[in-house]
Amino acid sequence: MLTNQEVAEGLLEKFGDQVFGFEEPYGLLTLSTTREDILPLMEFLKDHKTWQVIFLTDLTGVQYPDNKGQEFVVVYHLHSFVHNFRIRIKVALSEADLHIPTATGLFASANWMERETYDFFGILFDGHPNLRRILNIEEMDYFPMRKEYPMEDATREDKIDALFGR
Amino acid sequence: MKEVKIVGAPDGHSGAGFFATSLDQAIGLARSYSLWPLPFATSCCGIEFMATMGAHYDISRFGSERPSFSPRQADLLMVMGTIAKKMAPVVKQVYLQMAEPRWVMAVGACASSGGIFDTYSVLQGIDRIIPVDVYVPGCPPRPEQIIDGLMQIQYLAQNESLRRRNTDEYQELLTSYNIQ
Amino acid sequence: MADIELLPHNVPSQSELPELVEELTTLNLGPTHPATHGIFQNVLKMDGEKIVSGEQTIGYIHRAFEKIAERRPFYQITTLTDRMNYCSSPINNMGWHMTVEKLLGIEVPKRAQYIRVLMMELARITDHIICNSILGVDTGAFTGFLYVMQKREEVYEIYEEVCGARLTTNMGRVGGMERDLSSTAIRKIKEFIKSFPPVLRELEKLLNRNRIFMDRTINVGPISQERALSYGFTGPNLRAAGIDYDVRVMNPYSSYEDFDFEVPIGQNGDTFDRYMVRNEEMWQSLKIVEQAINNLPEGPYYADAPEFYLPPKQEVYKNMEALIYHFKIVMGEIDAPAGEVYHAVEGGNGELGFYLISDGGRAPYRLHFRRPSFIYYQAYPEMCKGSSLSDAILTMSSMNVIAGELDA
């Protein structure tokens, strides 16, 4: 059984202060890193002889508009089947420079998840083979999941704000 | 053996060896009991349509024995499920490919009005792009409701004047949807 | 009979034949096509009958679940989860409830957990019924579909008895179930346990060892273990490739550790294996349902968490406290703690994850659904490369891609 402590120590030893912000919300090891180190970090976890964190469960983005300089966070969830160990890695990005290297070289599943994240938040995954919108229409000119854009359809005229709580 | 009910003849004159009625009614009768639906199923309501098609509810009892997956041979377009804005041109194209007379049924809240998805990506009702004859409410509607919607279409088909599709009113309706 | 002399003058000699130009055909499959079971487009490059490459377009029913979720209080998000994988909505509902309970730190009583397991396994059966019978339809066997659809109706009747709806169930609440199992529901479940096996056996007889079905499915659309893992496969599709990953066993939730069941796995990851894994899972699910209904513990069916669980309606009319809680919950004035939760359940198609970030408000700050179909469907071009078009249809139908879950 792999413990959070063990992995955290191992990562600190290997990456030093490039990994930081260790937390354990609801028992899941969470840590942050920089975008320069995200690929080496995931590669290290994947190729580790005993840990074998080989499965990319989820990849998504979160926006914190008030957090100046770190408005966007890309969140990776990885899973080691052998030890039933999950780990969450976050990379913060600033709105002015939304670039992060793609993980498609490590996990084929990252392809669409990155496209989705791009579609929703406009985060650019450098080196992605086909970074286009995936869910929304290609003509869309904004990134709808960002907090500043409204959810509602702008063409509705019959729904009054007072009655529908829009 | 159970008595088999068959559809009664329309009003008309009958005598020895002949029966006369208006062409409208005869054609209406024929059309309404052989509607070929095109199930345009996108999401949840499509699964309820599956149930409607299955042995339990059996839409075939109403003459819709043959789901027509080609729009060219379909009389009735059943739009079931959410139509996103990305999908809207496809729905319109399918509608354009259908031959007259054609009816459209919006099954479920999403197809009728966008339903709970009042969002940037969802078309707020298919009647924004194509004319709709019958709306079936529900999220999703029960199979009985879908069958009721079909019966409403049958009623329309029976009572429609043969010339309706040539009237100025109808042309105006199509023009308002940019359909020539 | 006289020899017929072939007249040579019309046949051009080899050198006179125009040179054959080989070119690939582009075939557009979808977005509305009866064989795709949902709305997705595949633009296939075909060399005769063989698929050379494919490009997928999805998003045709993108409904912005994640955006809506940021505007809705926790209990209203259940309605969104219904519409994600609509073939097995109770699993989505319960998965979401468990995620919120994890955030709030609510311990659900045993009875509620067992009822949840019961409903989730029934949902798994309906999910797999559809996938397998439609796979039969795609190979040309319509009969099985009609048989098992009858049984699905019976499960829907059970749903109706438990929550009032057939398909989009919105079942249960944060903190338990909204009502106890009625005696009718228990009777219907017991009837189902008795009446389902003969029908499933009938479907098996029609397909499992059917020569045509086997020829059509064995070695069609295979995927290796390594590729399946790399593509993020989970659920029956991953197990068909031979990896016994099941969230119910790995991270038991809702008392799954109490139940005795097996996780079937396949070997080749082809269409036949996927079919067989699903088939066997239905038996296992039935086994779990049987255990759950026979060992259903007594006790309350909801947790003692008045701040989050709506009080019974009779209480609201009589009791001051209940009225206050009712009002506060409905008006969304109760704030959840801030935190970050990832919770996964074994959905019909695989690991259905909920990544919830709460900032302490009435609605999630961010909610991300890990939709299994979305993640594994991207492997489709690789799986059907080199196969014929008719096989590609079977591959897609055996992957059980649900459009609502795919596009969210």
Residue range A75-87, pLDDT digits in tens: 999 999 999 999 9
Q: In this complex, do C355 and A75 lie within 8 Å of one another by their Cβ atoms?
A: yes
pLDDT value at residue B145:
93
A99: closest CA of chain B, how far (Å): 26
Residue C45 CB neighbour total at 10 angstroms: 16
Name C270's Cβ contacts closer than 8 Å, sequence gap at least 6: C217, C218, C219, C220, C221, C222, C240
CATH number at residue B119: 3.40.50.12280
pLDDT at C280 over 80: yes
In a domain, residue B163? The reply is no
Q: Number of CB pairs < 8 Å for B and C?
A: 87
Q: Number of CB pairs < 8 Å for A and C?
A: 87
B105: closest CA of chain C, how far (Å): 17
Q: In this complex, do B84 and C62 lie within 8 Å of one another by their Cβ atoms?
A: yes
pLDDT at A163 over 60: yes
Helix residue ranges per DSSP H, chain A: 4-15, 38-47, 110-121, 161-164
pLDDT value at residue C9:
61
C69: closest CA of chain B, how far (Å): 11
User: Any idea which residue has 């197990």 for tokens?
Assistant: C239
- Pick the residue of C77, C331, C355, C368 with the most A CBs within 10 A to test the interface with A by mutation: C368
**Helix (H) or strand (E) segment spanning residue A30:** strand A29-33
Judge whether A108 is closer than 8 Å to chain C, CB to CB.
yes
Residue C124 pLDDT grade (very low, low, confident, very high; cuts 50, 70, 90): very high
In a domain, residue B108? The reply is yes
C263: closest CA of chain B, how far (Å): 28
Mean pLDDT of all residues in C215-235: 92
pLDDT value at residue C14:
66
Task: List the subunits that have 3+ CB pairs under 8 angstroms with A.
Answer: B, C
pLDDT value at residue B70:
87
pLDDT value at residue C26:
92
Name the DSSP class of A109: T
Q: In this complex, do A155 and B124 lie within 8 Å of one another by their Cβ atoms?
A: yes
The number of angstroms, rounded, from the C-alpha of C136 to the middle of its chain's C-alpha atoms is: 18
pTM for the model: 0.92
In a domain, residue B31? The reply is no
How many whole angstroms separate alpha carbon B109 and alpha carbon B140? 7
How many whole angstroms separate alpha carbon A103 and alpha carbon A128? 8
Q: Are C342 and C355 in contact (CB under 8 A)?
A: yes
In a domain, residue B13? The reply is no
Q: Taking CA atoms, what residue in C is nearest to B110?
A: C63
For residue B56, give the nearest of C64, C150, C407 by CB distance: C150
User: Any idea which residue has 């006179």 for tokens?
Assistant: C16
Q: In this complex, do C68 and B87 lie within 8 Å of one another by their Cβ atoms?
A: no
ipTM reported for the complex, 2 dp? 0.94
What's the whole-number average pLDDT of chain C? 89
pLDDT value at residue C335:
78
Q: Which residues of C touch A109 (CB under 8 A)?
A: 230-232, 375-376, 378
**Helix (H) or strand (E) segment spanning residue C370:** strand C366-370
Q: Are A30 and A77 in contact (CB under 8 A)?
A: no
Q: Are C250 and C263 in contact (CB under 8 A)?
A: no
Judge whether A150 is closer than 8 Å to chain B, CB to CB.
yes
**Helix (H) or strand (E) segment spanning residue C280:** helix C271-294
B170: closest CA of chain A, how far (Å): 25
pLDDT at C296 over 70: yes
In a domain, residue B145? The reply is yes
pLDDT value at residue B10:
84
Q: Cβ-count burial of C339 within 10 angstroms (0-12 exposed, 13-18 middle, 19+ buried)?
A: middle
Q: Which residues of B touch C (CB under 8 A)?
A: 40, 42-44, 47-48, 50-51, 54-56, 69, 81-84, 86-87, 90, 94, 116-117, 119-122, 139-140, 142
Percent of chain C with pLDDT over 70: 96
- Pick the residue of B82, B90, B121, B122 with the most A CBs within 10 A to test the interface with A by mutation: B121
Q: Which domains does chain C have, with CATH numbers?
A: 73-303+332-407 (1.10.645.10)
Q: Are B112 and B73 in contact (CB under 8 A)?
A: no
Residue ranges making up the domain that contains B40: 36-156+168-176
Count of domains observed in chain B? 1
How many whole angstroms separate alpha carbon C349 and alpha carbon C137? 20
How many whole angstroms separate alpha carbon C28 and alpha carbon C204? 34
pLDDT value at residue C4:
63
Residue C344 pLDDT grade (very low, low, confident, very high; cuts 50, 70, 90): very high
Nearest to C24 by CA among C61, C64, C54: C54
Q: Which domains does chain A have, with CATH numbers?
A: 4-164 (3.30.460.80)
Nearest to C78 by CA among C180, C189, C163: C163
Half-sphere exposure of C341 (CA within 13 A, CB side): 25
How many whole angstroms separate alpha carbon C13 and alpha carbon C87? 61
Nearest to C99 by CA among C369, C396, C379: C369
Mean pLDDT of all residues in C9-23: 70
Name the DSSP class of B114: -
Q: In this complex, do C149 and B54 lie within 8 Å of one another by their Cβ atoms?
A: yes
- Dihedral angle sign, alpha carbons of residues A79, A80, A81, A86: negative
Question: C351-358 and C339-346: which strand pairing?
Answer: antiparallel
pLDDT at C5 over 90: no
C233: closest CA of chain B, how far (Å): 23
Mean pLDDT of all residues in C199-217: 92
Mean pLDDT of all residues in C350-375: 92
3-class DSSP state of C301:
coil
B118: closest CA of chain A, how far (Å): 5
Name the DSSP class of C260: -
Percent of chain C with pLDDT over 90: 62
Q: Which residues of C touch B92 (CB under 8 A)?
A: none
Residue A56's DSSP bridge partners are A78
Backbone angles phi, psi at B19, to 5 degrees: -145, 125
In a domain, residue B97? The reply is yes
Q: Are C376 and A104 in contact (CB under 8 A)?
A: no
Q: In this complex, do B120 and A137 lie within 8 Å of one another by their Cβ atoms?
A: no
In a domain, residue B16? The reply is no
How many whole angstroms separate alpha carbon C323 and alpha carbon C309? 12
Considering only CA atoms, give the Rg of chain C. Answer: 25
Give residue-wise pLDDT tens across range A53-109. Answer: 999 999 999 999 998 989 999 999 999 999 999 999 999 999 999 999 999 999 999
pLDDT value at residue A157:
76
How many whole angstroms separate alpha carbon C77 and alpha carbon C93? 9
pLDDT at C115 over 90: yes
Q: Which residues of A touch C351 (CB under 8 A)?
A: 57
Residue A159 pLDDT grade (very low, low, confident, very high; cuts 50, 70, 90): confident
Q: What is the 3-state secondary structure (H, E, C) of B31-88?
A: HHCCCCEEEEECCHHHHHHHHHHCCCCCHHHHCCCCCCCCHHHCCEEEEECCCECCCH
Residue A43 pLDDT grade (very low, low, confident, very high; cuts 50, 70, 90): very high
Residues of chain B predicted below pLDDT 70: none
In a domain, residue B44? The reply is yes
Give the pair of three-digit tokens for residue B107. 């099954």
Give the pair of three-digit tokens for residue C195. 């009446």
